[in-house]
Copies of this chain bind each other. A is one copy, B any other.
Amino acid sequence: MSGAVQLVRDPIDPAALMARVARPAHGALILFLGVVRDVNDGRGVTGIEYSAYEGMAARELESIADEAVVRFVGADVAIEHRLGYLTLEDVSVGIAVAHAHRDEAYAASRWIIEEIKRRVPIWKREHYVDGSREWVDPSGAVSAELAQ
């Protein structure tokens, strides 16, 4: 699956991502885009800074893509996650999944984004309209699980 997954600093190109999974055998293609939105937890957001433990993040993304094609047999998968400073409506993550059937395409797409959020070492610092900024901590609850 090498090449199917990338950490990028330039804008994600949804069309290119989709082109990487298209094949004549596929009847369904799903693109998921995570986008920087203007409000989070009631606070006005101006942008988000994404950083990563890059070597490990790339490795975890590849392992997610590899596991996806085992769990959802016949799927093709392409994933890009962007790093750096993103402003409103910028795409932070793009996931393209194609499969012969839509059931598997939806399931694989959903599984991949949840796994990314669960275990890929990427962090975001939100910048707010009042000039402050803060690291986002969705939950510390997964820690114990990942360390087994």
Alpha-carbon gap, A37 to B30, bound state (A): 15
With contact pairs A14-B15, A14-B18, A102-B113 given, residues A27 and B32 touching in the complex (Cβ less than 8 Å): no
Tell me whether A33 and B28 are in contact (CB under 8 A).
yes
| A106 within 8 Å of B (CB atoms) | yes
Copies of this protein, total: 2
| A129 within 8 Å of B (CB atoms) | no
Question: In the complex, how many angstroms separate the beta carbon of A124 from the nearest chain B beta carbon?
Answer: 12
Contact with B along A102-126 (1 / 0, CB 8 A): 1000100110010000000000000
| A4 within 8 Å of B (CB atoms) | no
With contact pairs A14-B18, A18-B14 given, residues A30 and B30 touching in the complex (Cβ less than 8 Å): yes
Q: How many residues of A contact B (CB 8 A)?
A: 29
| A39 within 8 Å of B (CB atoms) | yes
With contact pairs A14-B18, A18-B14, A113-B102 given, residues A28 and B24 touching in the complex (Cβ less than 8 Å): no
| A88 within 8 Å of B (CB atoms) | yes
With contact pairs A22-B89, A89-B22 given, residues A29 and B33 touching in the complex (Cβ less than 8 Å): yes
Chain A residues engaging chain B, CB cutoff 8 angstroms: 14-15, 18, 22, 24-39, 88-89, 98, 100, 102, 106, 109-110, 113
